[in-house]
A and B are shown apart, each in its own frame.
Chain A
Amino acid sequence: AQSVTQLDSHVSVSEGTPVLLRCNYSSSYSPSLFWYVQHPNKGLQLLLKYTSAATLVKGINGFEAEFKKSETSFHLTKPSAHMSDAAEYFCVLMFSGGYNKLIFGAGTRLAVHP
């Protein structure tokens, strides 16, 4: 079965400190993985995607993620948090059965304190 597990439901950091949001996946096939961000009252926005090219993926707003097949992980990082990064983050697996079906993790709420 294909699934995504986000290891932390809440993460709290101080502005200017690094961010780490953890994600593990389960897939029998070579996965396509995404990170989406959801700000209050706004739609989901794609941060970055991994589709079997480079294992270190750079996204928007300074975020990046590293695909590690041996650890079945796809953790999201950012060197320095900004107040505007406070939001809900979702790690997402594309179902390999086709048709772009997305499988979402439960989400990690990131709080950024001054």
Chain B
Amino acid sequence: DAGVTQSPTHLIKTRGQQVTLRCSPKSGHDTVSWYQQALGQGPQFIFQYYEEEERQRGNFPDRFSGHQFPNYSSELNVNALLLGDSALYLCASSPLQSSYNEQFFGPGTRLTVL
């Protein structure tokens, strides 16, 4: 059983560009959350998707958007990249009916903005 997978592993972009990151949840999971982890910090919640809709959002600007597909996979899009967007982006999945709401994390995508 594959866990949470993310692609690409690493990405280098320049300021002003747009980027799309992808996530496939663990089998049987229908909820996907995205987190941003800046260097030396703990992950920060960006947003969560369930049933193809954004269900909750953290304190991130509208430049950050997402999508969830019918197969529960998800994309994170960031427009007009800033240097400060350089970070490790983590995807986490969970089953909606989990009694203790454990989230399973992927290895992340390392985004570098030059």
Residues of A in contact with B (beta carbons under 8 Å apart): 32, 34, 36, 41-46, 49, 51, 90, 94, 97-107
Q: Are A51 and B41 in contact (CB under 8 A)?
A: no
| Distance between Cα atoms of A67 and B5 in the complex (Å) | 32
Q: Are A32 and B42 in contact (CB under 8 A)?
A: no
A43 touching B108 in the complex, CB below 8 Å, given contacts A90-B42, A106-B42: yes
Count chain B residues whose beta carbon lies closer than 8 angstroms to a beta carbon of A: 28
Closest residue of chain B to A88 (Cβ to Cβ) is: B42
- A-B pairs, top 6 by smallest CB distance, nearest first, are A104-B42, A44-B105, A43-B105, A99-B56, A43-B107, A100-B101
Chain A contacts for B48, CB-based, 8 A: 99-101
For B41, B90, B105, B106, the residue with the greatest tally of chain A CB atoms inside 10 Å of its CB is B105
| Distance between Cα atoms of A99 and B34 in the complex (Å) | 13
**How far is the CB of B5 from the nearest CB of chain A, in Å?**
10
Whether B44 sits at the interface, judged by CB under 8 Å, is yes
Chain B contacts for A90, CB-based, 8 A: 42-43
Q: Are B107 and A42 in contact (CB under 8 A)?
A: yes
**How far is the CB of B95 from the nearest CB of chain A, in Å?**
10
| Distance between Cα atoms of A102 and B92 in the complex (Å) | 10
Chain A contacts for B94, CB-based, 8 A: 100
Cβ contact of A103, chosen from B31, B45, B101, B108, cutoff 8 A: B45
Cβ contact of A49, chosen from B35, B100, B105, cutoff 8 A: B100
Q: Are A102 and B56 in contact (CB under 8 A)?
A: no
Q: Are B107 and A41 in contact (CB under 8 A)?
A: yes
Chain A contacts for B73, CB-based, 8 A: none
Whether B68 sits at the interface, judged by CB under 8 Å, is no
Chain A contacts for B16, CB-based, 8 A: none
Closest residue of chain A to B55 (Cβ to Cβ) is: A99
Whether B102 sits at the interface, judged by CB under 8 Å, is yes
Q: Are A32 and B100 in contact (CB under 8 A)?
A: yes
Chain A contacts for B42, CB-based, 8 A: 90, 104-107
| Distance between Cα atoms of A34 and B90 in the complex (Å) | 17
Closest residue of chain B to A91 (Cβ to Cβ) is: B42
